[in-house]
Structure 1
Amino acid sequence: MTEASRQSPPGPPRHLAFLPYPAYGHMVPVLPVVAELVARGHRVTCFTTEEFEDRVRATGAQARPYDPPLSSDPPPDVIDADECARAPLKLLEASTAVLPSIEACFADGPPDAVAYDTTLWLTGRLLAARWGRPSVQLSPTFISNEHFNLSEQHQEFAGQIDPAHPAITAFVDRLKDIVTGSGLREEQQAELFHGHEEFTVAFVAKEFQFAGGTFDGRHVFVGPTTEATAAAGGSTAWRPPADGRPVLVVSLGTTVNNRPDFFRHCVEAFADLPWHTVLALGKRVAPEELGPLPPHVEAHPWVPLTEVLPHTSVLLCQSGMGSIQEALRAGVPMVVVPHHPEQHVNARRLTELGLARVVQREDASVEALRSAVLEVAGDTALHERVRQMRRHVRSAGGAARAADAIEQRLYAPSLEAT
């Protein structure tokens, strides 16, 4: 429990509704914030799916199911312009389908505030407007304003979306139907679309955010929220190698990890070098698929990055935001192999700031992976830049600052955060 947790809230305890998206990259940064608010005496109702119910309950919040359940399936292997055009309509239908069941949960009276994931933007804003309550947008990744547009960045890698695409037309029509049929006044309907002007808590450091200095007080950058010394799913009793070898951690996160060939390349790349390699395989690759492993290579379905990264020399990952933020907090340089457009955007920012080396997926041969890791390990200037970013990430405030910002919005909804 943090010092902030032991303090009383700046007003009477309140009831908050949390609407996180039920996928690891979205849930992991939110749950410590929920736990922090509960520790401060607030009542939190957090909506989720069966996969995360136990984690939600462990925070002290009340877990309520999304009905119908929101999908946490990994995205398609290929995300091109056509897929990007179809995704908004699918997400709109899924995220608004849960509205009736959420409202039914609060039939005896609405909560005092609504905190919602960016993917449930319309759901969260509609509920807050109907109830006349303040809202907080929660973003696990970069946020947009007039100086930086995340969607445009995605399209650079996925391809430009045709505004006349049938799915875009259907999305606009469906959105119009939902908003005009919402029962809100006309001026309230217009407010649903204020986007980057919404009060937002972003789980990245401001110094890592594109155009970070251009965001005003309605945007709070708190960095990673998990405790650096605690494992999210329980300790694995992992210990660094006794012989002092440098440690390489390889992880493809939770969405693009169905790649046994990639993990085999990593084993081969470091089999004859004095490195200790830790492979975090995920749920879709079994250790047996890799064949016999050298004694200095270990493979696990999952490893707690918060425990392993402090002993790590280089992280080789898919450039997912969660892995990036944990690595930067631990001061670990990276080699990244981006897959989806959002990971390419993350890799672009890492490159701009000189914090990692990028290996394109199609170029990720044994030789390329070995060369990139050894290059990063020996780059003293890159290491210094990573140490500087580590200071920014560690001072961003994490879960305690996120809870502070939400309380400020709760008790003084018209004020900007400081």
Structure 2
Amino acid sequence: MSRVVVAASPLAGHTFPMIQIAGELVAAGHDVTFVGGERFADQVARAGATLRPLTGKAAYDDRRMAESFPERSTLSPGPEMLTWDVSHVFGDAIPDQHALIQELLDEDPDTVFVAELMFLGGLPSLHGAGIRPRRWIGVGISPLYYPSDDTTPFGPAPVGPGVDQVEANRAMNAGLAAALSGAAEYLQRVVDGLGATGFTMPNYFATMYTEPDDVLQLTVPEFEFPRSDLPENLVRFVGPLPPVAPAGWTEPAWWPELDSGRPVVVVTQGTLANDDLSELVEPTLAAFDGEDVLVVAALGRPAAALTGPVPSNAVIEEFVPFDRLLPHADVFVTNGGYGATQQAIAAGVPVVVAGQTEDKPAIAARVGLLGLGIDLHTQRPTPEEVAGAVQQILTTPSYRDRAVELSLAYEKVDGPQQIVDVVAEAFRK
């Protein structure tokens, strides 16, 4: 069997999609080693892969970030925290990641690596520091950030009368690059210090995509802002990973209510950013208390996490498989997870997004600017804001029409199979 190493930073949102990819590669007949956090050992084992846990500064626990990175808690969200995270959460992990990569390549140099784009430990070996893998395949688990004259990562820059759109986009992209220039310089020093030669990082956002041999983006082109200057063959849009339902799931007793004729609103904060359900789930429950609407709240955690009452027209579940639920939904209310948002659109369901952390503003921007729903531009909307956005979607057919239009693009892709095909191709090169 050919050996594949799948790698992820030890953050749950980075790890879970890569474990799913590892499982697909195991099913395709590869000998798969998973490089990641030790706390994910059970999930890795269920996928059929062998865990090689990260160590040292690469082995932090994302459930205790304040303990692992005390200085981080003093920073405000925004450019300052992003620069710090790139430098110290991801950059300081590079030496220990690189050491483990070299151990694995010493065992078998004919290894293909498949790593999410923020796992930066491959950079030294791609530039002469030790053994180079047969192929390094990057996986885009967040929206595309590659700079373009046509757009910024958050959509075309706002312009006033007489302002050239291209110049405005260039200026905003330059500002974003400048905001991360300190982090780029820091990463340059770390990689150079490990013996790499010829590595340069003039633009952090561009380098994420130009360094791997292949980049597989977990979306379709239609869920991206058009980029006429995206280099040919730089990125392969393979589509998202399908939802995975736990074995033995059965429809709950309330399931027939989905076909009662009432509008169905599904709300979730995903499986990661759900520590504080008062951010979005609880305002959504309050927004429709007593209304002729069925609200289905998928908490991603036990119902005891709710701090307020549950209205009589709402049902609460720790988990509901979205591939079964979303075809019944009229509106999907979310904090903007990349996978869940795309699952809704793939089902032809318009979206309300309230998310301001991590990559969520970029995801929300795509929903709003592409006409797929409404971006509330906040992390903590009021019940009135949620109700107003849902009502606007229910009374404006263009939102569902646009979601249905994009759902056709999702029908044409098979993300897991395309990933398996690219890895097989890597062993033929």
TM-score band, normalised by shorter chain: 0.7 to 0.9
Report the secondary structure of 2:236's partner residue. Answer: strand
Report the secondary structure of 1:274's partner residue. Answer: coil
1:219-230 residue pairs with structure 2 within 5 A? 219-227=235-243, 230=244
Residues 222, 107 of structure 1: CA spacing in aligned structure 2 closer, same or farther, 3 A cutoff? same
Q: How big is the shift at 1:411? A: 1.9
Which residue number in structure 2 is paired with residue 182 of structure 1? 194
380, 390, 405: which is aligned to 1:388? 405
CA contact (8 A) 2:23 2:48 kept: yes
Which residue number in structure 2 is paired with residue 31 of structure 1? 19
Distance 2:355 2:189 in 1: 37
Distance 2:194 2:379 in 1: 47
Q: Deviations over 1:157-192 (max 9, x none)?
A: 9xx6795x9x965x55653443333334x34x4599
1:180-329 residue pairs with structure 2 within 5 A? 180-184=192-196, 186-187=197-198, 189=199, 194-197=207-210, 198=212, 199-211=214-226, 214-215=229-230, 216-227=232-243, 230-231=244-245, 235=249, 237-238=251-252, 240-242=255-257, 244=260, 245-261=262-278, 262-283=280-301, 286-291=304-309, 293-329=310-346
CA contact (8 A) 1:19 1:114 kept: yes
Q: How big is the shift at 1:33? A: 2.7
Which residue number in structure 1 is paired with residue 119 of structure 2? 120
Opposite residue 87 of structure 1, the aligned amino acid is: D
Residues 264, 182 of structure 1: CA spacing in aligned structure 2 closer, same or farther, 3 A cutoff? closer
Distance 2:366 2:275 in 1: 25
Report the secondary structure of 1:137's partner residue. Answer: strand
Q: How big is the shift at 1:310? A: 2.3
Q: How big is the shift at 1:399? A: 0.6
- More divergent stretch after superposition (87-96 vs 232-241): 232-241
Which residue number in structure 1 is paired with residue 135 of structure 2? 134
Residues 151, 271 of structure 1: CA spacing in aligned structure 2 closer, same or farther, 3 A cutoff? closer
CA contact (8 A) 1:312 1:332 kept: yes
60, 72, 76: which is aligned to 2:62? 72
Q: Deviations over 1:307-357 (max 9, x none)?
A: 322222211011221221111122211111122262122111111210011
Q: How big is the shift at 1:373? A: 1.0
CA contact (8 A) 1:314 1:333 kept: yes
Distance 1:358 1:33 in 2: 30
Distance 1:117 1:153 in 2: 26
Opposite residue 349 of structure 2, the aligned amino acid is: V
Higher RCO, 1 vs 2 (CA within 8 Å, ≥6 residues apart): 1
Report the secondary structure of 1:110's partner residue. Answer: coil
Q: How big is the shift at 1:374? A: 2.0
CA contact (8 A) 2:289 2:312 kept: no
Q: How big is the shift at 1:212? A: 5.0
Q: Deviations over 1:203-224 (max 9, x none)?
A: 0111112225543223111121
Any gaps of 5 or more consecutive residues in structure 1?
Answer: 1-12, 413-418
Distance 1:376 1:311 in 2: 16
Which residue number in structure 2 is paired with residue 92 of structure 1? 91
Opposite residue 219 of structure 1, the aligned amino acid is: V
Residues 172, 317 of structure 1: CA spacing in aligned structure 2 closer, same or farther, 3 A cutoff? closer
Distance 1:94 1:233 in 2: 35
- Whether 1:350 and 2:354 are equivalent positions in the alignment is no
- More divergent stretch after superposition (37-46 vs 75-84): 75-84
Distance 2:306 2:83 in 1: 39
Which residue number in structure 1 is paired with residue 81 of structure 2? 83
Q: How many residues align?
A: 390
Moved over 6 A (4+): 74-77, 151-154
Q: Deviations over 1:209-267 (max 9, x none)?
A: 2225543223111121125xx41576263453436133211111244333343433222
Residues 46, 224 of structure 1: CA spacing in aligned structure 2 closer, same or farther, 3 A cutoff? same
CA contact (8 A) 1:45 1:61 kept: yes
Report the secondary structure of 1:131's partner residue. Answer: coil
Opposite residue 265 of structure 1, the aligned amino acid is: P
Opposite residue 81 of structure 1, the aligned amino acid is: P
CA contact (8 A) 1:25 1:322 kept: no
Residues 113, 153 of structure 1: CA spacing in aligned structure 2 closer, same or farther, 3 A cutoff? farther
Residues 96, 146 of structure 1: CA spacing in aligned structure 2 closer, same or farther, 3 A cutoff? same
Distance 1:283 1:323 in 2: 16
Distance 1:200 1:233 in 2: 32
TM value normalised by structure 1: 0.81
Opposite residue 181 of structure 1, the aligned amino acid is: G
CA contact (8 A) 1:46 1:56 kept: yes
Which residue number in structure 2 is paired with residue 10 of structure 1? none
Opposite residue 361 of structure 2, the aligned amino acid is: H
Aligned-pair identity in percent equals 22
Residues 258, 191 of structure 1: CA spacing in aligned structure 2 closer, same or farther, 3 A cutoff? closer
TM value normalised by structure 2: 0.79
Which residue number in structure 2 is paired with residue 5 of structure 1? none
Residues 353, 136 of structure 1: CA spacing in aligned structure 2 closer, same or farther, 3 A cutoff? same
